[in-house]
């Protein structure tokens, strides 16, 4: 009879070990999923943006999305949509002039900024309100990853 009692003790230990193993496998799956979420949000975009008319004396510039990845949630359009862009309109994309976030008149595809994504074929025209000078720098940044999408010196 002692042999049967020992068998019962072994089976409860095996059961506990198996339960611990299942919990570890589930935890590893959750950690892997969370890790993928964090790193996928910091992926580098492959996008081609052309800065047009960026020359000394220009008071308007145009950013043309020439292809590649779309910049998701580039803008947080106001209600109602407007022609004015400021730090609160930019969401995942910022235009910086000499390091300062651009604030001023803007037109997306010759109209108001009424959508969130900046996609292939889109043109963002910015009215500077002053003239560019030699040495000014225009930079377009993807905010979530801090990735510079394009940078051009006048």
Query: Which CB contacts under 8 angstroms, 24+ apart, belong to 42-46?
Result: 42/144, 42/145, 43/145, 44/145, 44/147, 45/69, 45/71, 45/142, 45/145, 45/147, 45/149
Measure the CA–CA gap between 85 and 112, rounded to whole angstroms.
10
* Exposed/middle/buried for residue 83 (C-beta within 10 Å: 0-12, 13-18, 19+): middle
Q: What is the pLDDT of residues 67-82, one digit of tens each?
A: 999 999 998 876 666 6
CATH of domain 47-153: 2.60.40
Q: What is the pLDDT, as a whole number, of residue 58? A: 92
The DSSP result for 106-150, as a single string, is EEETTB-B--S-B-TT-EEEEE-SS---TT-EEEEEETTTTEEEE
Dihedral class, residue 17 (left if φ above 0, else alpha if ψ from -120 to 50, else beta)? alpha
Nearest to 125, CA basis, from 100, 99, 104: 104
Contact partners, residue 143, CB within 8 Å, separation at least 6: 90, 91, 92, 93, 94
Instruction: Give the residue extent of every domain in the chain.
Output: 1-40, 47-153
pLDDT, residue 35, reads: 75
pLDDT at 64: 96
Q: What is the pLDDT of residue 153?
A: 93
Q: What is the pLDDT of residue 31?
A: 87
Which pLDDT score, from 0 to 100, does residue 84 have? 67
pLDDT at 105: 85
- pLDDT reported for residue 125: 92
Residue given tokens 């560019």 in the structure block: 132
Contact 93, 79 (CB under 8 A): no
What is the mean pLDDT for each group of 10 consecutive residues in the chain (154 residues)?
56 84 92 72 82 92 94 81 67 91 87 90 90 94 90 93
pLDDT of residue 38: 62
Does the predicted model carry a pTM greater than 0.95? no
pLDDT of residue 32: 82
Closest by CA position to 54, among listed 131, 140, 141: 131
């Amino acid at each position: 009879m002692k042999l049967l009692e020992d068998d019962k003790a072994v089976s409860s230990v095996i059961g506990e070990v198996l339960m611990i193993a299942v919990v570890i496998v589930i935890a590893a799956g959750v950690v892997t999923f969370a890790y993928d979420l964090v790193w996928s949000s910091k992926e580098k975009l492959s996008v081609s943006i052309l800065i047009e008319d960026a020359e000394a004396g220009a008071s308007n510039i145009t950013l043309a999305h020439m292809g590649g990845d779309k910049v998701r949630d580039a803008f947080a359009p106001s209600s109602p949509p407007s022609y004015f862009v400021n730090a609160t309109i930019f969401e995942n994309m910022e235009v910086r002039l000499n390091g300062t976030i651009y604030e001023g008149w803007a037109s997306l595809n010759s109209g108001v900024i009424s959508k969130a994504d900046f996609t292939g074929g889109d043109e963002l025209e910015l009215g500077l309100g002053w003239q560019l000078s030699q040495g000014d720098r225009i930079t377009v940044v993807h905010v979530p990853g801090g990735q510079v999408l394009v940078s051009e010196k006048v």
